[in-house]
């Protein structure tokens, strides 16, 4: 069972998070007797255990440990450990859970400042003024919400991690539902503003429809194959003569569900609303971990199951089109977005487009094993480093959110004057998102484009002696690379706009930012890592890790 | 014994009803119900599959899917409550503070 | 390290120090931070001067003594022991210089302290000067990198400090200009990136290759492969890649019709920024074009000679005409840069060693002269708060030093003999005549147009005051007393003036290596292409 | 005069400069080894003057001791002069072994690819480098003397002229620095051994011309004139540059020694095509036209008089404008078929002669109506240079048609005229400067008393010290100046036996000779210059009479006196040079020497008297009867008709009781005898108006430029901002619009999201079905 240690830690932590704050001096009177047996749950809470900071401590510790052990799982040799026929623990799933845990850990740290715990809070007394009383009540409420939030966060982690290990389609869906349902609540958790509930509701409704569609698609596949084990499905797919409508429609409907998760057009529409309504750390999780989860699902279904040994996959054209529409839509919509969170949401849509394009290139069937691996490495690498800079950007917004709001561009005005270090980090995040070297975002984008070019550039006619004949002869996949670079250029507009307002505009308030030490340190660390994973030994190390993981896929 | 294809056919109809309901009804509670219908369509398929392939898996899947649906409803209602508490509406067309 | 691997040092040291000076004050305790900020400026200057000294020593000690006629393509001096950076995809840290890149490195090392000196009193100097230092590292990196990945990284990295320089220290419209600058050139270079990746895809799976991809970014090896069996099969793809590279490089140069970012960027940039932008950054385009596009795809270059001719000619003539219609001093100078850069394409298009050497010298000479022009324009902005040509007259009385430098710079830029620019112009024109004959009338007429706009702008700013004792001062001065340039501006400009004269009278200091390199380059790279394409005079 | 004694003390500073050459001679050095000093010393000195002047601007020592750099400049030019004289002496005594020195270093070395019919290769020979060496022949020796001698003298003059004018206070260092820089250009151009360096120095002169014309930079007219001069000559320079490119392409070198060695053989032994070479030479000639202010690029020279008078004297009369002539003279080896030149380029000579003839006539005509003393001299310069061009054109024609002997004669004559003209015109300008200077001072003196400075400014601007209508009767006030001006005018007019006569006679005679010997096309230029000879007599006399003869037309003449010590000396030196030098040199065979027919200046084995008689006889009674008539007509026009006409209109005796030196006095009295003719009708005629407006050339050029280039440039700027950049901006704005549109899709209603996703799904299914079907 030690291979599931990280998940075990999470389960235990969830239980602890439920129990520990409730430890008190409650006694149980044995019925019909006067004997009171102390049961320690309930009653007047003990000072130590009822500290509102405790749940955060538990979740942070749990995520740290889980991350730590996951990391060792990646480095361990890649032989898979099968558990119960539905879980396969290998370096790939460990890599992904490592990424998930990292993202959630950062979110937990940030949430600590977003949902401040106030150990000093007490019930209002009569002599307190109305305003004071209200404040006290809110503090108490905040204290209560700590437990819920962190439990949900851990549930998300658990779901995602299990999902990455699933070797059975149904189990994967269940795990996704676990993560999704928890994340719906997390979105709605943003109660300080009127939009929190709305965001949660929309995200929930659209997400549920999508997953219902996905489950229905899965049921069709079950109807067709009679088994939902990936290997069995792959075998059935390979043995399929022509295309069975059940299989194809089932696959298509499942893509809807995954498409929602990765926020691919046209299933992405709820994503900007959700990100904008959720608190920044949660939005960050949605944009990174949740998206990574969707991609893992896509990879599993598309590459593991529905990829023919040779020739073009049935989903190739579809995915290529979706990719182009997604990246263009995302970038275009982000262009004039005045809400930084929405802008980052659209940017996240665009990034999904890039990765889908790379995936589509694999679907073209032009590449061989090594190019497929290259694309996979690119995608996983991108998903990993997204945690650095996409989440980093959300954390910066979270830092702003602590004392105000971050849903207007004006909130970022003059950040460079208020806090140069955070502004500098944000600048790095933005550049990395745009794919400017030498940052991690560049390397990952380069790997994706490189994968596409590797797959397609050799297809052009070598006898063509001018550009136009060559361009006519080359496989259209090549133009996906061009679409990506054009979109990158377009995306610079809005990424740089953030930098612009940070350095250029005068801030609305000249007060320095709150010294949220851990959050600030996290941000700076992420900025540093964005740089370190862009070039040199850091990038080399991460690439090796990813390569190791991909070889186990 | 009813042929699996009939069960699956019913599933198609249910799924269609659910989907159309999901985007044509404004009331979030109704939409929630439609989602349940869609999930039930999947359950029917699992059952049909189990019958068709003679495996137990389908039954298990259906049972778990029902549990998922239950959880979903619970969560859904909670979220809608929170929506109601801030905006005093559960009409999806009216809860549009977030847009564009 | 400095003696063993000087190039790595001069590339990475400024970046490291610059970053340290930017970041450390943010994380150190207040008192230390303030101390750091105080020493940031002298420290930056010190390192910049040290790098200049190192570069000059390299030239005097070794590079100047090399017989470049015997240095084959792909041989570089001061090559380091390669360090693997990204094993998976075959990226290595390889640096080296040859006669193409060394003058550019020297130019960068020279311009950085000069531009620091000119902007010695910049606001927020503790950020300004470290940024320039980072810029130096990035610029030098572009010229010394022999791995295309690293090359591209430095190529884009130059954008970041420049973006910040424009954004934070720029003029009124800096917002628009910095965005445009960044996006425009970035967009162009991503096309180049595609080209580089196609080249990458075609590299052989040698020991340099990445473990994951089986390809490598090593330029030397690519050059060898290109010279051997050819890097890319199929002329169509070769041409396509060449065009992609051209898009990136031509935009940086910039060449008409992708030049419009330059005037905006220049007008808004701070003086030091303009100086570096015009002095070195534009040269990156020409350098990259020769280093990558021409070296690896000589046949495509020969095939597309008419295109080069067209681009060069339209840049040269069109930009010169546009210059005449400008009312903003800096904008005019910026367009004149476009015009001069046109000569580089023309020089390459001649397919003569003389023309290529002339183009190289143009890069070098323009790298000395145009910073002077921008320093002058910047001084106008600084001391008269305006760049409108028509808003003042007779400034020579109030600012004799400024007027003197302006006169000198303007004259140098319009190709006055015995100044550096003339050597480049005359050599390119001679080669141009040999190849294209009477087409030379267009560049020649441009010489007149150049004179027209330079002389006219000078007339309208420093002359014609109407009174020997008072000039017509611009409104933007708001009645303040007009002042002459400060000592540090003057000193910086004097360095440039002296170098312009030095390289105008003794061009052979760098010319000889450029010329020899060009001959060797022609012999090894282009001559086969010329013969195989059946080009006749 | 105590003051002036103190002034002369300054000359002590010259001793170290002047001692250098004697020291070198004593050391037994060779003059050619040290010829670089001629150029190098000014090169070192000029930045010193400029920078020191800027730093110590207004400092007492700098102003009084160093004359704001004037003394240093004088020293440098003195050193150049002494080194130049040393070189000339060596050449005259030991030539032709000194002909040239090889390039001491290669300035630019390079390779060129050539196509051998099968493939490309790096050219094995030719096309290898540009260097800089020394090239000496009679032509450069003569010009070297003119340049060094006049630079020194005029600098001397300028020390007095510039530093005593309050308007120049604190800016004279600029003047002297630029002056010295100019001398670098002139010396260098004369000595350079190849066309490239010729061009380089040529351009430096252009720069200095620009700088010095614009010396009074605050004056709109001066700034405008400077710009005009620079741009007009730039037009010529560009063609010159093209000519160089062509020459280089033909010969693979621009070295005189290589090119002139065998002009009919190009690089790699190719036969030179006459058409190609002629085109190249015509391009060079356009450059010469620009520099020497010939039609149609003549418009800048009159305006160039905005510069300080020493500048007019040196650059725009005596030296720089001769550069064009020098360049044309350098073309002789190409066309001299008797010495291996390329046949078939007669047209070149004709074109040169025609341009010369037209310019000579036109400039003389315009000079008729000028009232500004410097403008008259400017047009006179233009006209005289045109003479030389005509002569050179005739020479080129004669050389190319194989008539070497006659060609050499007119060639020598033309160059000799160049020499005479440079001396005379330099002096005339200095004399006019002296007049202007003193009139100005007198004016200041009259208006300063009791006036506050503001008023002074106003009157300063209104009064034109150069207008001859404000003068008259100055002969008695300024004896030295009047005499110098008289001698100079005589030389220019061609009064027999005085300098210019000897050379002008040859030019006119030989041009007619060429016409008589088959060059029918030369009739025009021949007639034009013949007529111009008479016109020259008129306008030069007119100038002199208006200035010096008659009664004063302005009260301030009473206060004029020759006070400034530095000004007189060069006038005296040059007067002697003009009066006797021309005759002397003619006797010593200057014409033969300059045309390289004779190796030395000598008496050709005759006694001095014999030679004088020979020359006089040859001048007045040539053997060829046709030429004899031509000569007589010339003398008649220039000596008799022109001056007498001028005297009838402008002449007049001095005021009663005023005395000038005898000859001058006699001349003024004589002029009074011709009475006074009223020419108001003529002066108000349309022709006079057209001449006043310089035949509308300036207006024409300006009009054309204003209607073409200016709107075109504005259009280009608009085009760039709105079309090329507009396209980019369109992309941006269209993206923004698209962005706003696409964001509208996100309506905010979850229902719509689901609907859209459903539609999307359906269309995807339809698509897949379509693709697979």
> How close is the nearest chain C Cα to the Cα of A282, in Å?
28
Look at strands A87-89 and A81-83 and give their pairing.
antiparallel
Q: At C226, list the tokens.
A: 């290109």
CB spacing of C236 vs A436 below 8 angstroms? no
Residue ranges of chain D whose pLDDT lies below 50? 1-3, 450-459
Task: Note the pLDDT of residue A119.
Answer: 77
**Choice between C317 and C63, residue whose per-residue pLDDT is larger:** C317
- Whether residue D296 has a cis bond before it, omega within 30° of 0: yes
Instruction: Give the distance from residue D731's alpha carbon to the nearest chain A alpha carbon, in angstroms.
Output: 10
Residues 6+ apart with CB under 8 A from D521: D350, D354
Neighbours, chain D (3 or more CB pairs < 8 A): A, B, C
Closest by Cβ to C240, choosing from A471, A499, A547: A471
Q: Is D761 on the interface with A (CB under 8 A)?
A: yes
Identify which has the larger pLDDT, D96 or C403: C403
The pLDDT score that the predictor gives to residue D103 is 56
pLDDT at D124: 67
CB D523 within 8 A of CB D515: yes
Q: Is C170 left (phi over 0), alpha (psi -120 to 50) or beta?
A: beta
Q: D109 to chain C nearest CA, in Å? A: 7
Judged by CB atoms closer than 8 Å, whether chains meet at D754 and B96 is answered as no
Residue A131, pLDDT score: 84
How does pLDDT run across A357-390, given as a tens digit for each residue? 999 999 888 888 888 889 999 999 999 999 999 9
Report yes or no: C347 and C305 within 8 Å, Cβ to Cβ. Answer: no
Helix (H) or strand (E) holding D434: helix D404-448
Enumerate the β-bridge partners of residue A229. A168
Across C36-45, C74-83, D506-515, D673-682, the highest mean pLDDT is recorded for C36-45
Question: Would you state the pLDDT for residue D450?
Answer: 45
- Cα separation of D687 and D365, whole Å? 10
Query: Strand, helix or coil at A200?
Result: helix
Is the pLDDT at A193 greater than 60? The verdict is yes
* Nearest-10 Cα torsion for D590, D595, D599, D600: 10
Distances (CA, A) of A402 to A110, A112, A494, A526: 9, 10, 24, 19
pLDDT at residue D448, as a whole number: 62
Pair C414, C456: CB distance under 8 Å: no
Q: Which of residues 14-33 of B touch A (CB under 8 A)?
A: 15, 18-19, 22, 28, 31-32
For residue D633, the SS3 value is helix
Partners of D121 in the beta sheet?
D114
From CA D767, how far away is CA D510, in angstroms rounded? 95
What is the β-pairing status of strands C83-86 and A87-89? unpaired
Distance, CA of D614 to CA of A104 (rounded, Å) = 116
How far is D203 from D207, CA to CA, in rounded Å? 6
Q: Which helix (H) or strand (E) holds D650?
A: helix D642-650
Q: Which of C426, C434, C466 sits opposite D249 (nearest CB)?
A: C434
At residue C88, the 3 state secondary structure works out as coil
Q: Is C467 helix (H, G, I), strand (E, B) or coil?
A: coil
pLDDT of residue C166: 92
- Cross-chain residue pair A466–C236, CB shorter than 8 Å: yes
The answer to whether the bond into A266 is cis (omega within 30° of 0) is yes
Helices D36-55, D70-94: crossing angle, 10 deg rounding: 180
The residue in chain D having the minimum alpha-carbon distance to the alpha carbon of residue A249 is D765
pLDDT at res. C212 = 85
Sequence-separated (6 or more) residues with CB below 8 Å from residue A143: A52, A117, A118, A119, A121
DSSP for D715-749 reads HHHHHIIIIIHHHHHHHHHHHHHHHHHHHHT--S-
Distances (CA, A) of D193 to C267, D196, D492, D560, D770: 45, 9, 31, 48, 82
**Contact between chains at A227 and B78 (C-beta distance less than 8 A):** no
User: Of D644, D654, D527, D501, which is closest to residue D585 (Cα–Cα)?
Assistant: D501
Decide if A431 touches B, using CB distance below 8 A: no
Query: Do C and A have ≥3 inter-chain CB pairs under 8 A?
Result: yes
**Phi, psi (5° rounding) for residue A194?**
-65, -25
Contact yes or no for C507 and D107 at CB 8 A: yes
Cross-chain CB nearest to D218 (options C432, C441, C465): C465
Q: How much is the pLDDT for D459?
A: 47
Mean pLDDT of A244-272: 90
Q: Contacts of residue D772 in chain A, CB cutoff 8 Å? A: 243, 314
In this complex, the residue of B46, B79, B95 whose CB is nearest that of residue A222 is B46
What digits encode the pLDDT tens for the residues D409-465? Answer: 889 888 889 998 998 898 899 888 888 888 888 887 777 654 444 444 444 556 777
**Which candidate from B23, B28, B95 shows the least CB-CB separation from D758?**
B23
Tell me whether residues A269 and D746 touch, CB distance under 8 A: yes
Q: Please judge whether B82 and A184 are an interchain contact, meaning their C-beta atoms are less than 8 angstroms apart.
A: no
pLDDT per position as a tens digit, C147-176 = 999 999 999 999 999 999 998 898 888 888
Mean pLDDT of A300-316: 87
Tokens of C393: 């007259």
CB contacts under 8 A, B 61-90 vs A, are 61, 64-65, 68, 71-72, 75-76, 78-80, 82-87, 90
DSSP H helices in D164-293? 172-191, 195-213, 220-251, 256-261, 274-291
- Locate the chain A residue with the closest alpha carbon to C201: A454
pLDDT of residue A445: 93
C99 within 8 A of C287, measured Cβ to Cβ = no
Contact assessment for residue D441 and residue D630, using Cβ atoms and an 8 Å cutoff: no
Beta-carbon contacts below 8 Å between A and D: 76
> Which chain C residues are within 8 Å of D287, Cβ to Cβ?
none
CA-based nearest distance D531→chain C, Å? 36
Helices (H), D450-564: 453-462, 479-493, 500-516, 523-548
Cβ of A496 and C191 within 8 Å?
A: no
Chain D CB within 8 Å of residue C46 CB: no
Count of Cβ atoms closer than 10 Å to residue C440 Cβ: 22
**Length reported for chain A:** 553
- State residue A42 phi and psi, 5-degree precision: 100, -170
Average pLDDT, chain A: 89
Strand partners, C19: none
Residue D739 touches partner B, C-beta closer than 8 Å:
no
Nearest by CB to residue D754, choosing from B22, B93, B96, is B22
Q: Which residues contact C159 (CB under 8 A, 6 or more apart)?
A: A436, C181, C182, C185, C186
pLDDT higher for C238 or A403?
C238
pLDDT score at D657: 75
The candidate with the shortest Cα–Cα distance to C89, out of C240, C203, C224, is C203
Per-residue pLDDT of A507-550, as tens digits, reads 887 777 888 889 999 999 999 999 999 888 889 999 989 988 88
Contact between A212 and B35 using a beta-carbon 8 Å cutoff: yes
Nearest to A314 among D753, D756, D772 (CB): D772
Q: Which residues contact B81 (CB under 8 A, 6 or more apart)?
A: none
pLDDT in tens, A395-407: 999 998 887 777 7
- Nearest residue of B to residue A342 by CA position? B100
pLDDT score for C148: 93
Q: Give whole-number Cα distances, D514 to D346, D626, D630, in Å.
A: 12, 12, 13
C347 near C425, Cβ under 8 Å?
no
Check CB contact of D759 with chain B, cutoff 8 Å: no
Q: What is the pLDDT of residue D454?
A: 45
CA dihedral over C481, C487, C488, C489, signed as positive or negative? positive
- Looking at residue D164, its pLDDT comes to 78
Which helix H or strand E contains B39, and what residues bound it? Answer: helix B28-53
More confident residue, D70 or C371: C371
Does an interface of 3+ CB pairs under 8 Å exist between A and D? yes
Radius of gyration of chain A (CA): 24
Query: What mean pLDDT is predicted for residues A97-126?
Result: 86
Q: What do you get for the CA distance between the two ends of chain A, in Å? A: 21
* Domain boundaries, given as residue ranges, for chain A: 1-310, 311-553
Q: What angle do CA C433, C436, C442 make, to 5 degrees?
A: 75
Residue C71 has pLDDT above 80, yes or no: no
Q: Please, which contacts does A91-95 make with residues 24 or more away whose CB atoms are closer than 8 Å?
A: A91/A548, A91/A549, A91/A551, A91/A552, A92/A164, A92/A549, A92/A550, A92/A552, A92/A553, A93/A161, A93/A164, A93/A165, A94/A70, A94/A549, A95/A70, A95/A380, A95/A384, A95/A545, A95/A546, A95/A548, A95/A549
Q: What is the pLDDT of residue C289?
A: 94
Angstrom distances, CA of residue D190 to CA of A235, A365, D187, D330, D499: 94, 77, 5, 11, 23
| Neighbouring C-alpha atoms within 13 Å toward the C-beta of D227 | 23
CB B97 to CB A208 under 8 A? no
Q: How is A503-545 classified by DSSP, letter by letter?
A: HHSPPS--PPPP--HHHHHHHHHHHHHHHHTTSSHHHHHHHHH
Mutate to test the interface with A, among D734, D757, D766, D773 (most CBs of A within 10 A): D757
**Distance in angstroms (rounded) separating the CA atoms of residues C454 and C43:** 38
Contacting residues of D for B23, CB less than 8 Å apart: 751-752, 754-755, 758
Gap between the terminal Cα atoms of chain D: 117
Per the CB < 8 A criterion, the answer to whether D350 and D367 are in contact is no
Does any CB of chain A come closer than 8 Å to the CB of residue D759? yes
Q: Is A57 exposed, middle or buried (0-12, 13-18, 19+ CB in 10 A)?
A: middle
Query: Among C120, C503, C410, C108, which residue's Cα sits nearest to residue C281?
Result: C108
For residue range D490-523, list pLDDT tens digits in order. Answer: 888 888 878 788 888 888 888 888 888 887 888 8
Encoded tokens for D68: 């704001």
């Amino acid at each position: 069972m030690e291979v599931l240690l990280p998940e075990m830690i999470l389960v235990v932590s969830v239980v602890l998070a439920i129990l520990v704050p409730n430890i008190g001096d409650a006694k149980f009177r044995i019925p019909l007797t006067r004997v009171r047996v102390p049961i320690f749950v309930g009653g007047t809470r003990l000072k130590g255990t009822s500290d509102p900071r405790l749940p955060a401590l538990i979740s942070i510790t749990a995520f740290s440990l889980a991350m730590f052990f996951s990391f060792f799982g990646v480095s361990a040799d890649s032989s898979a450990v099968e558990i119960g026929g539905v879980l396969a623990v290998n370096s790939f799933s460990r890599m992904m859970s490592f990424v998930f845990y990292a993202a959630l850990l950062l979110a937990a740290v940030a949430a600590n400042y977003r949902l401040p715990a106030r150990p000093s809070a007490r019930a209002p007394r009569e002599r307190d003024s109305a305003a004071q009383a209200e404040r006290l009540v809110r503090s108490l409420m905040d204290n209560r919400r700590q437990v819920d939030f962190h439990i949900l966060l851990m549930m998300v982690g658990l779901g995602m991690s299990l999902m990455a290990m699933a070797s059975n389609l149904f189990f994967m869906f269940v795990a996704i539902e676990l993560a999704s349902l928890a994340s719906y609540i997390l979105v709605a958790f943003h109660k300080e503003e009127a939009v929190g509930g709305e965001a949660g509701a929309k995200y929930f409704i659209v997400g549920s429809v999508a997953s219902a569609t996905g489950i229905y698609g899965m049921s069709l596949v079950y109807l067709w194959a009679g088994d939902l084990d990936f290997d069995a499905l792959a075998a059935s797919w390979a043995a399929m003569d022509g295309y069975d409508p059940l299989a194809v429609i089932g696959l298509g409907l499942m893509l809807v569900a995954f498409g929602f998760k990765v926020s691919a057009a046209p299933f992405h529409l709820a994503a900007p609303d959700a990100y904008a309504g959720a608190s920044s750390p949660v939005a960050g999780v949605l944009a990174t971990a949740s998206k990574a989860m969707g991609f893992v699902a896509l990879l599993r279904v598309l590459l593991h199951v529905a990829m023919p040994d040779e020739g073009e996959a049935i989903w190739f054209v579809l995915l290529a089109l979706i990719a182009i529409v997604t990246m263009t839509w995302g970038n275009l919509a982000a262009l004039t977005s005045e809400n930084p969170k929405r802008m980052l949401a659209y940017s996240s849509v665009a990034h999904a487009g890039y990765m889908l394009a790379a995936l589509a290139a694999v679907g073209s069937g032009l590449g061989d094993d090594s190019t497929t691996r290259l694309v996979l490495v690119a995608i996983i690498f991108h998903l990993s480093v997204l945690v650095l800079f996409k989440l980093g950007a959300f954390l910066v917004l979270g830092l702003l959110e602590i004392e105000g709001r971050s849903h207007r561009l004006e909130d970022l005005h003059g950040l460079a004057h208020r806090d140069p270090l955070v502004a500098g980090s944000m600048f790095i995040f933005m550049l990395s998102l745009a794919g400017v070297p030498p940052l991690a975002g560049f390397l990952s984008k380069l790997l994706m484009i490189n994968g596409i070019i590797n797959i397609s550039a050799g297809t052009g006619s070598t006898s063509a002696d001018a550009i136009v004949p060559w361009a006519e002869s080359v496989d259209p996949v090549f133009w996906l690379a061009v679409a990506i670079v054009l979109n990158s250029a377009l995306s610079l507009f809005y990424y740089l706009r953030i930098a612009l307002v940070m350095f250029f505009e005068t801030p609305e308030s000249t007060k320095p930012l709150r010294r949220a030490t851990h959050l600030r340190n996290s941000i700076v660390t992420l900025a540093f890592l964005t740089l370190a994973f862009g070039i040199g030994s850091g990038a080399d190390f991460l690439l090796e890790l990813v390569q190791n993981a991909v070889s186990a896929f | 014994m009813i042929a699996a294809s009939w069960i699956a056919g019913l599933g198609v109809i249910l799924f269609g009803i659910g989907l159309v309901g999901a985007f044509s009804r404004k009331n979030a509670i109704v939409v929630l119900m439609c989602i349940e219908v869609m999930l039930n369509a999947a359950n029917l398929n699992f059952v049909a599959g189990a019958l068709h392939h003679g495996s137990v898996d389908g039954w298990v899947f259906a049972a778990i899917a029902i549990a998922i649906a239950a959880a979903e409803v619970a969560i859904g209602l909670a979220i809608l409550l929170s929506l109601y508490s801030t905006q005093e509406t559960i009409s999806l067309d009216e809860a549009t503070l977030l847009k564009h | 390290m400095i003696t063993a691997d000087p190039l790595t040092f001069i590339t990475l040291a400024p970046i490291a120090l610059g970053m340290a000076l930017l970041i450390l004050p943010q994380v150190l305790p207040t008192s230390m931070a303030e101390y750091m900020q105080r020493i940031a400026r002298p420290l930056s200057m010190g390192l910049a001067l040290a790098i200049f000294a190192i570069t000059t020593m390299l030239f005097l000690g070794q590079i100047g003594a090399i017989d470049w006629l015997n240095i084959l393509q792909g041989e570089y001096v001061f090559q380091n022991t390669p360090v693997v950076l990204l094993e998976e995809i075959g990226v290595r840290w390889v640096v080296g210089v040859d006669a193409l890149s060394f003058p550019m490195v020297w130019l960068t090392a020279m311009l950085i302290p000069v531009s620091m000196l000119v902007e010695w009193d910049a606001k927020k100097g503790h950020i300004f000067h470290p940024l320039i230092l980072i810029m130096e590292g990035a610029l030098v990196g572009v010229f010394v990198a022999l791995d295309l990945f690293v090359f591209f990284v430095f190529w884009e990295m130059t954008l970041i400090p420049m973006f910040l320089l424009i954004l934070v220290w720029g003029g009124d419209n800096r917002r628009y200009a910095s965005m445009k600058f960044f996006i425009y050139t970035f967009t162009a270079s991503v096309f180049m990136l595609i080209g580089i990746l196609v080249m990458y895809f075609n590299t052989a799976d040698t020991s340099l290759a990445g473990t994951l991809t089986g390809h490598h970014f090593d330029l030397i090896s690519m050059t060898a492969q290109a010279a051997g069996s050819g890097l890319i099969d199929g002329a169509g793809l070769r041409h396509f890649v060449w065009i992609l590279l051209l898009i990136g490089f031509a935009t940086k140069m910039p060449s008409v019709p992708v030049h419009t970012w330059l005037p905006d960027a220049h007008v808004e940039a701070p003086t030091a920024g303009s100086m570096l932008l015009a002095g070195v950054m534009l040269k990156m385009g020409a350098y990259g074009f020769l280093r990558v596009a021409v070296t690896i795809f000589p046949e495509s270059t020969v095939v597309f000679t008419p295109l080069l001719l067209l681009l060069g000619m339209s840049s040269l003539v069109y930009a010169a005409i546009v210059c005449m219609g400008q009312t903003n001093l800096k904008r005019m100078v910026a367009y004149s840069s476009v015009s001069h850069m046109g000569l580089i394409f023309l020089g390459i298009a001649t397919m003569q060693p003389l023309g290529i050497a002339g183009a190289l010298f143009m890069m070098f000479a323009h790298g000395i002269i145009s910073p002077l022009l921008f320093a002058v324009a910047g001084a106008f902005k600084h001391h008269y708060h305006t760049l409108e040509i028509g808003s003042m007259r007779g400034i020579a009385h109030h600012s004799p030093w400024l007027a003197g430098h302006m006169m000198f710079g303007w004259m140098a830029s319009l190709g006055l003999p015995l100044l550096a620019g003339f050597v480049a112009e005359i050599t390119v024109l001679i080669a141009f005549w040999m190849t294209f004959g009477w087409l030379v009338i267009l560049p020649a007429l441009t010489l007149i147009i150049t004179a027209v706009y330079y002389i006219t702008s000078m007339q309208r700013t420093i002359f014609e005051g109407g009174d020997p004792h008072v000039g017509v001062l611009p409104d933007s001065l708001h009645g303040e007393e007009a002042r002459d340039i400060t000592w540090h501006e003057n000193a910086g400009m004097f360095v440039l003036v002296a170098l312009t004269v030095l390289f105008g009278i003794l061009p052979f200091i760098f010319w000889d290596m450029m010329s020899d390199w060009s001959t060797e380059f022609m012999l090894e790279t282009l001559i086969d292409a010329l013969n195989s394409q059946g080009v006749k005079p | 005069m105590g003051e002036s004694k103190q002034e002369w003390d300054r000359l002590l500073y010259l001793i170290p400069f002047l001692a250098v050459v004697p020291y070198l001679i004593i050391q037994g050095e060779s003059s050619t080894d040290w010829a670089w000093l001629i150029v190098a010393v000014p090169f070192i000195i000029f930045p010193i003057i400029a920078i020191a002047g800027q730093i110590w601007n207004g400092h007492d020592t700098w102003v009084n001791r160093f004359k704001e750099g004037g003394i240093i400049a004088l020293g440098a030019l003195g050193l150049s002069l002494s080194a130049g004289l040393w070189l000339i002496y060596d050449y005259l005594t030991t030539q032709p072994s000194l002909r040239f020195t090889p390039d001491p270093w290669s300035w630019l070395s390079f390779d060129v690819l050539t196509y051998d019919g099968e493939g490309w290769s790096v050219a094995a020979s030719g096309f290898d480098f540009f260097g800089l060496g020394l090239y000496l022949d009679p032509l450069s020796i003569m010009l070297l003397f003119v340049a060094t001698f006049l630079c020194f003298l005029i600098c001397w003059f300028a020390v007095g002229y510039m530093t005593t004018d309050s308007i120049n206070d604190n800016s004279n260092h600029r003047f002297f620095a630029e002056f010295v820089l100019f001398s670098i250009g002139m010396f260098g151009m004369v000595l350079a051994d190849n066309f490239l360096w010729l061009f380089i120095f040529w351009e430096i002169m252009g720069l200095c011309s620009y700088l010095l014309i614009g010396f009074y930079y605050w004056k709109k007219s001066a700034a405008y004139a400077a710009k005009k001069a620079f741009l007009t000559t730039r037009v010529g320079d560009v063609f010159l540059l093209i000519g160089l490119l062509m020459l280089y392409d033909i010969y693979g070198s621009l070295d005189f020694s290589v090119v002139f060695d065998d002009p009919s053989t190009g690089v790699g032994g190719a036969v030179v095509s006459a058409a190609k070479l002629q085109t190249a030479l015509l391009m060079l000639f356009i450059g010469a036209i620009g520099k020497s202010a010939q039609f149609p690029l003549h418009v800048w020279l009159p305006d160039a008089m905005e510069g300080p008078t020493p500048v007019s004297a040196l650059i725009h009369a005596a030296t720089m404008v001769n550069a064009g002539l020098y360049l044309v003279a350098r073309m002789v080896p190409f066309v001299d078929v008797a010495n291996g030149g390329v046949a078939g380029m007669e047209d070149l000579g004709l074109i040169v002669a025609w341009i010369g003839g037209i310019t000579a006539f036109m400039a003389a005509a315009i000079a008729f109506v000028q009232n500004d003393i410097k403008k008259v001299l400017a047009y006179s310069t233009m006209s005289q240079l045109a003479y030389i061009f005509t002569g050179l054109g005739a020479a080129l024609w004669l050389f190319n048609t194989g008539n070497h002997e006659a060609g050499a004669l007119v060639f020598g004559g033309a160059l000799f005229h160049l020499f005479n003209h440079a001396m005379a015109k330099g002096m005339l300008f200095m004399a006019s400067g002296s007049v202007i200077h003193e009139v100005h001072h007198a004016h200041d003196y009259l208006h300063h008393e009791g006036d506050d400075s503001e008023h002074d400014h106003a009157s300063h601007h209104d009064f034109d010290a150069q207008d001859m209508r404000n003068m008259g009767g100055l002969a008695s006030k300024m004896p030295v100046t009047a005499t110098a001006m008289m001698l100079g005018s005589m030389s220019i007019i061609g009064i027999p036996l005085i300098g210019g006569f000897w050379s002008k006679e040859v030019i006119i005679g030989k041009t007619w000779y060429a016409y008589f010997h088959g060059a029918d096309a030369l009739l025009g230029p021949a007639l034009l210059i013949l007529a111009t000879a008479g016109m020259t007599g008129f306008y030069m006399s007119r100038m002199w009479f208006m200035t010096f003869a008659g009664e004063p037309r302005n009260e301030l003449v009473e206060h004029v006196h020759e006070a400034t010590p530095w000004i007189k000396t060069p006038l005296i030196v040059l007067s002697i040079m003009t009066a006797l030098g021309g005759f002397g040199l003619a006797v010593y065979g200057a014409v033969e020497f300059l045309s390289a027919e004779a190796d030395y200046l000598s008496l050709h084995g005759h006694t001095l008297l014999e030679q004088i008689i020979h020359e006089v006889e040859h001048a007045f009674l040539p053997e060829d009867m046709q030429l004899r008539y031509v000569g007589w007509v010339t003398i008649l026009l220039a000596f008799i008709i022109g001056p007498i006409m001028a005297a009838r209109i402008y002449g007049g005796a001095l005021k009663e009781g005023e005395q000038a030196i005898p000859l001058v006095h006699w001349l003024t009295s004589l002029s009074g005898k011709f009475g006074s003719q009223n020419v108001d009708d003529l002066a108000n005629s349309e022709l006079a108006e057209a001449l006043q407006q310089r035949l509308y050339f300036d207006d024409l050029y300006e009009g054309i430029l204003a209607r073409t280039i200016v709107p075109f440039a504005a259009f280009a700027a608009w085009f760039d901002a709105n079309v090329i950049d507009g396209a980019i901006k369109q992309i941006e704005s269209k993206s923004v619009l698209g962005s706003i549109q696409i964001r509208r899709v996100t309506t905010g209603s979850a229902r719509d999201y689901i609907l859209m996703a459903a539609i999307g799904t359906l269309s995807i299914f339809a698509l897949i079905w379509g693709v697979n079907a």
